[in-house]
Amino acid sequence: MCGIVGYIGQREAEPILVEGLRRLEYRGYDSAGLATLSGAELHLRKQAGRIADLVRHLRDRPAAGCLGISHTRWATHGPATDRNAHPHVAGNGSIAIVHNGVIENYTNLKRQLQADGVVFATDTDTEVIAHLIDQHLQDDLVEAVRQVLPLLKGTYGLAVVSSRQPDVLVGARLGSPLVVGIGADEHLLASDPAALLGHTRNVVYLQDHQMCVLRADGWDLLDANHTRVAAAVQRIDWAPADADKGPYEHYMLKEIYEQPEALENAMRGRLADADASAHFGGLNLNARQLRRAERFVFTACGTSWHAALVGEYLFEELARIPVEVEYASEFRYRNAPMDRNTIVLAITQSGETADTLAALRESKRKGHHTLALCNVVGSTIAREADGGVYLHAGPEIGVASTKAFSNQVCVLAMLALYLGRMGHLSSIQGLRMLKEMRALPNAVRRALGCHDDVRRIAAKYQHVRNMLYLGRQYLFPVALEGALKLKEISYIHAEGYPAAEMKHGPIALVDENTPSVFLINAGGVVDKVLSNLEEIKARGGPVIAIAPEGDDELANQLHDRADDVLFVPQVPEYLQPLVSVAPLQLLAYHMALLRDCDVDKPRNLAKSVTVE
């Protein structure tokens, strides 16, 4: 959610901080601010609204200094106002702090501070931390922060500076990500490695209960006992250009069109003809352990949950292993009975989603082997899972996930093949699947060729207030995902259902102003779906059909029955989600554009949800 960027070095901090915040705009925010130190003088600048508003403010009031911290806030405590924007200060303006996360006991701490005579200037939980540090600060900012951290209940990613010690930047982490950027006579601190691109690609990821102490000429990592700990310096495998929009108007459109390449990257080096199977290097489970698995539990949130639903179909059909799909936000608090030989698979783009991380930790606590599907190398979930698979989708900046969803489904298909080959799948079946998977990126490229037709359909329906998305079997989760995309960025109410369930309630919504998007299977239920489509048409509802090409009889039926038809390449049924989702992503994109919505930064949403 919120974004943190800090800098200490030889250069002016302000432009570096602003550039870093811009790289984190995708995370979702409603105000922005920064604080810099020039000698013993602290300069505070903050503004409700967008980073562009802060930049205009800085033109009139520049913030000098080679040390600084900055923040984009997503409001939790108090409305989005100038005074509630970060950084927050204490000690007569000598201490500045930025904070991601939620301090659950801030009310009690605030009451105690007020009893001591402290006057609060904001509604936030973060200001409590600033005043606590001020109370404990004597000569050593690091020691003051260390003493305050045990008083805090909740989650935090902190960056703190003080004019009383103007040569040090202190960071601390519990449940909210922080990464140190290692440079030459300069160091950076950020909540996301994307903020560091262009300055360094060498990073160190903080773990929970760790602090970092940054100086221009060095850095230290400390544990809760103030003891230095060793840390491996890792290298970001993204180039700065990967996080730029390039020729595209929006990140979302760029990422939709990056899906074929992202799928190639996900499969690269993992498809093995010699074994007629897929190979994975990081599962940390041998074949004997995997064969003992009697059940998988997939846990995820949002778009990742929809990918998990596709994975349920894949695992149960191809690997013959039972799967349960759980919302991480519910699973973390349930006490569901699980067999000893159950593997828990957490699915996440960011690797920092708070609910998914909590579900993973609870599963480990109960003794279950945990795996992760994750896109961000070095993220918390990637580090804490017993094993896992990286998606290799590259940086995904748009809040509405597109290429990460496709790569999640692709990796789940490869895992299903891998497990299936350990059981009943023959080598002939495995080789056929490898061939089909290798052809998939080109099929997705062809599916994106419907762009102009989708734009026309979006113009036709841009003013509707409700839409239904309907599919069966592998395409039911895609219906859910298509509806979510429309809701996220165009603010049109949309619901996804199994097509046969439509008559059990949702059909009451159907009228001439409620379009229905039908996802037509290539498999054995196509006649059933067409029957459901007829039920919508009989009640005057407009129909948009998305169907596989190459079947003339089906095409004729759809042209007679649907108001608009989009054809996608014919692929095996288990891969249909990956070609059918592309026009749904484009439809949401164009509906949002036509309704003048902010495609990449939809209201109230954040890319990485690190609070509960």
Give the chain's end-to-end CA distance (angstroms, integer).
11
Instruction: Report the alpha-carbon angle 241-578-320, nearest 5.
Output: 125
The strand pair at 369-374 and 323-327 is best described as: unpaired
Structure tokens, 234: 């890792």
Chain centroid, CA 198 distance in Å: 22
Q: Which of 46, 485, 487, 607 is catalytic?
A: 607
The strand pair at 169-174 and 179-182 is best described as: unpaired
* Side-chain-side CA neighbours of residue 34 (13 Å): 32
Q: Is there a catalytic annotation at residue 2?
A: yes
Q: Are 606 and 74 within 8 A, CB to CB?
A: yes
Coil vs helix vs strand at 235? strand
Q: Are 576 and 474 within 8 A, CB to CB?
A: yes
The closest of 492, 476, 505 to 587, measured between CA atoms, is 492
- Contact partners, residue 586, CB within 8 Å, separation at least 6: 256, 448, 450, 451, 454, 455
Structure tokens, 469: 């998305």
Q: Which of 2, 66, 374, 597 is catalytic?
A: 2
Place of tokens 């929006």: 250
What per-residue string of b and e applies to 128-153 under the rule 16 or more CB within 10 Å gives b? bbbbbbbebbeeebbebbbbbbeebe
DSSP conformation class of 318: I
Q: Are 195 and 25 within 8 A, CB to CB?
A: no
Does the N-terminal peptide bond of residue 337 adopt cis geometry, omega within 30 degrees of 0?
Answer: no
Coil vs helix vs strand at 382? helix
Question: In 507-575, which residue ranges form alpha helices assigned H by DSSP?
Answer: 526-537, 552-561
> Distance between CA atoms of 77 and 84, rounded to whole angstroms?
8
Structure tokens, 71: 């923040």
Q: Is there a catalytic annotation at residue 301?
A: no
Q: Are 404 and 396 within 8 A, CB to CB?
A: yes
Long-range contacts of 246-252 (CB under 8 A, 24+ apart): 250/398, 250/589, 250/599, 250/600, 251/26, 251/397, 251/398, 251/600, 252/398, 252/400, 252/402, 252/489, 252/585, 252/589, 252/599, 252/600
- The residues annotated with a catalytic role in the active site are 2, 607
